[in-house]
Amino acid sequence: MNKYIKTTKGGTYTYIRKIPTNLQQYINKSILKVALSKDIQEAQSKADVISNNINKALNTLKLSLTDEVKEQAVMDIVTPYVSTKILHTNKTAVEVTKPLTLDEVIQGYLSSLNVTQQRLQEYSTILNTISHIVNGNREISKITYKDIDNCKSSLIKLPKRNIQKYRLMGLDELLSCTTILDDERISNKTVNEYLKQLKALFVYAHNRGLVVSNITSSLKLLPLKKAREQKSPISSQELSLLLNTYSDCEYIYLIKALAYSGLRPSELLKCEVTNIDGVLCFDLTSPTLQLKTLSSYRVVPVHSSLIDGLDNLPVLTAKYSSQYLSKVTKKYIDKTLDNTATKSLYSLRHTFATELIHRGASSSIVSELMGHTHSSMTLSRYANGYSIKQLQEVVELLN
């Protein structure tokens, strides 16, 4: 029986466990107590789910994700167990010494992030814009959902700054401008980047007891074009044309590797090549890696056509950046292929998925290979029940 199951006087089985210290700030309690059932089998099942979720959250904290991604991921796991009460430690309530303004919380949030200087500057610019709209001198605890909704509406109205006539205009002037055309406004994707940072800021504030509730939890992002409309896959014939045309280029191996692995460019440059059960794999399971999402931690068997040249991969990944590869590949695509407006280096991920599905691979195993789903076995060398041999068989479906 699950060691955290206890029986109450009324005969109800209850899950009682001391929350690990590094999770207490997320759950807002030091002891977790959850009524399960009077039926032992049902109680056991529910207790196992709770234990698995806590272990999953603890594993998530070990991963080298950015703080805001890590916090959101952990909160997604532990939300059912979160207390709305202020956490008590040694029977003394944790209290904020004085109300903090939105600007003060923004500074604390930015200081907590473990990101590059460039990314930090991007987030700072985004949050300073939001602060200007909402009035950053206000206490964050007094900001309402209506304020957040008005902020969203204001962001939607903003024009693209790369348009000459808007470059020198101040934010107040832009917000009051009534002559901005629809096709001059920032994209839904850009607005969502602002909203994501706003949501991450309030997760930070809520986890630290600076606000009673996270008023951005129900804030919806704007709809985007379907992925297939944003980037088009490169067909197998087009890929062959590219590889043959530029076969003399040193970095063409990296382009081929992306097409035959489904890895993101940044993942290819970070991964290790390891032998797992006799199969060479692109290995992204190290918890020291900083990857885009939790599900990005995975292994992808190396396609047989990539074995020749694999020894030179460390040299190439150290020499070329993902930005350079994107720029050069786009140049090659535009020069060699037709209808290239929606084709880029990232299209090779779509090529990988599309070709595998066309060859009969199941969508679930393709999702695992691409890192689109998250297994509870995040740090395992196996993905969601698929053995390395099974993953290899699917990858080898590509010609």
Query: For residue range 52-80, what is the model confidence (pLDDT) as tens digits?
Result: 888 888 887 777 666 656 676 777 777 66
The arithmetic mean of pLDDT across residues 357-383, rounded, is 67
Give the pLDDT band of residue 6 (cuts 50, 70, 90). Answer: confident
pLDDT at 82: 58
Q: Which residues of 374-394 are buried (b: 16+ CB within 10 A; e: fewer)?
A: bbeebeeebbbebebeebbeb
- With a cut of 80, say whether residue 107 has pLDDT above it: yes
pLDDT at 41 over 60: yes
Res. 132: pLDDT tops 90: yes
Residue 86 confidence (pLDDT) above 60: no
CATH, domain 229-395, list 3.40.50.10880, 3.20.20.140, 1.10.443.10, 3.30.479.30: 1.10.443.10
CA 61 from chain center: how many Å? 14
The values of phi and psi at residue 136, to 5°, are -65, -10
Q: Which pLDDT score, from 0 to 100, does residue 364 have?
A: 83
Output the pLDDT for position 66.
61
pTM of the model: 0.52
User: What's residue 81's pLDDT?
Assistant: 67
Per-residue pLDDT, averaged over 334-354, amounts to 90
Average pLDDT score over the chain: 84
- Write down the pLDDT at residue 296: 85
pLDDT recorded at residue 64: 61
Per-residue confidence band for 10, with pLDDT thresholds at 50, 70 and 90: confident
Query: Strand 13-18 vs strand 92-93: parallel, antiparallel, or unpaired?
Result: unpaired
Whether the pLDDT of residue 378 is over 80: the answer is no
Per-residue model confidence (pLDDT) at position 49:
85
Tell me: the pLDDT tens digits for 189-208? 899 999 999 999 999 998 88
The residue assigned the tokens 């024009």 is: 159
pLDDT in the model for residue 67: 62
The candidate with the shortest Cα–Cα distance to 51, out of 84, 22, 17, is 17
Mean pLDDT, rounded, for 268-293: 90
* Mean pLDDT within 351-361: 90
Does the pLDDT at position 379 exceed 60? no
Report pLDDT for 294.
78
The residue among 131 and 162 whose pLDDT is bigger is 131
Confidence grade of residue 290 (pLDDT, cut at 50, 70, 90)? confident
Domain boundaries, the chain: 5-89, 102-224, 229-395
The fraction of the chain above a pLDDT of 90, given in percent, is 41
Q: What is the pLDDT of residues 110-121, one digit of tens each?
A: 998 877 888 889
Choose between 270 and 380: higher pLDDT: 270
Higher-confidence residue of 45 and 253: namely 253
For domain 102-224, say whether CATH 1.10.287 is its number. no
Instruction: Give the model's confidence band at 22: pLDDT under 50 very low, under 70 low, under 90 confident, else very high.
Output: confident
Read off the pLDDT band of 268 (50, 70, 90): very high
